[in-house]
């Protein structure tokens, strides 16, 4: 039983595990320090590795885009604070895909004892006993986990998709809708499925300029 619980990750809809941690931006107390914000908590296997370096450069260049969406970034690996600092300083000297002089200003958690990584199930023995996999937890302002992404050690993340997830969740919360495949802001959205025969019939018979149905269970709202 102990091994089963050791790497159990919290699930979508769960309260995000609370923690206090030392980071490159000072101590943080989660979720208290992030009340009212969306949070992207993400882990990487190790400092001074090439895939992780490209990811941090990308995230750092997008930080203002996420702030505009009321979203804060928190990184994590099991390396020491001093390794983090040395690596982030080295990143400032690199140039990749036109990105250069990149300063990482979001906090990067020191997690040498793997306390936070284990709370979030980021250590997966099938990949590594000593490194966190590439996990992404999207956490809402009520500290509920809304989306979880896991990537293998060899695969860098798609940051456009991470931003799209934030946009889609915020749209769903604001308007009570769902978003279809490949949705982008401005695209039509999905109206919740009819819960009764009467509602289904009414929708099919009373479509208007704002809504349209492909069938009783598949109705869309036009975005203007």
The pLDDT confidence band at residue 164, using thresholds 50, 70 and 90, is: very high
Res 5 pLDDT > 70: no
CATH of 2-159, one of 2.40.50.140, 2.60.200.20, 3.30.450.20, 3.40.30.10: 3.40.30.10
**Sorting pLDDT into bands at 50, 70 and 90, what band is 2?**
very low
Host H or E run for residue 20: strand 19-23
Going through 24-142 in order, the beta strands assigned E by DSSP cover 26-30, 38-43, 71-77, 95-96, 99-100, 108-110, 134-139
Q: How many CA atoms lie within 13 A of 4 on its CB side?
A: 1
Give the residue ranges of the annotated binding site for substrate.
Answer: 134
Residues 191/220, Cβ–Cβ less than 8 Å: yes
pLDDT, mean over the chain: 89
Q: At what angle do helices 81-91 and 50-61 cross, to 10 degrees?
A: 70
Q: CATH 3.30.1020.10 in the chain: give the residue spans.
A: 176-224
At 127, the pLDDT band (50, 70, 90 cuts) reads low
CATH architecture of the domain covering 176-224:
2-Layer Sandwich (3.30)
Global pTM reads 0.90
Nearest to 116 by CA among 132, 128, 134: 132
Which residues define the annotated binding site? 134
- Res 220: pLDDT: 93
Instruction: State yes or no: is 197 an active-site residue.
Output: no
Per residue in 80-112, pLDDT (tens digit) is 999 999 999 999 999 999 999 999 999 999 998
Here the tokens at position 172 are 């769903």
Which three-class secondary structure state does DSSP give residue 91?
helix
């Amino acid at each position: 039983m102990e091994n089963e619980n050791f790497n159990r990750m919290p699930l979508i809809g769960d309260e995000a595990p609370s923690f206090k941690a030392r980071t490159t931006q000072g101590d943080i107390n989660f979720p208290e320090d992030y009340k009212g914000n969306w949070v992207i908590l993400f882990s990487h296997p190790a400092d001074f590795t090439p895939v992780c370096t490209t990811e941090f450069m990308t995230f750092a260049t997008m930080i203002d885009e996420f702030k505009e969406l009321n979203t804060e970034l928190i990184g994590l690996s099991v390396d020491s604070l001093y390794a983090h600092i040395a690596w982030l300083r080295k990143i400032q000297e690199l140039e990749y895909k036109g990105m250069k002089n990149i300063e990482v200003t979001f906090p990067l958690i020191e997690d040498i004892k793997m306390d936070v990584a284990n709370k979030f199930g980021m250590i997966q023995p099938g990949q590594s006993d000593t490194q966190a996999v590439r996990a992404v937890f999207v956490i809402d302002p009520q500290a509920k986990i809304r989306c979880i992404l896991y990537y293998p050690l060899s695969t860098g993340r798609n940051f456009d998709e991470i931003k799209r997830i934030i946009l889609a969740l915020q749209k769903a919360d604001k308007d009570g809708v769902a978003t279809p495949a490949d949705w982008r802001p401005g695209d039509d959205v999905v109206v919740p499925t009819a819960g009764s025969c009467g509602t289904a019939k009414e929708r099919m018979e009373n479509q208007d300029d704002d809504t349209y149905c492909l069938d009783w269970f598949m109705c869309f709202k036009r975005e203007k």
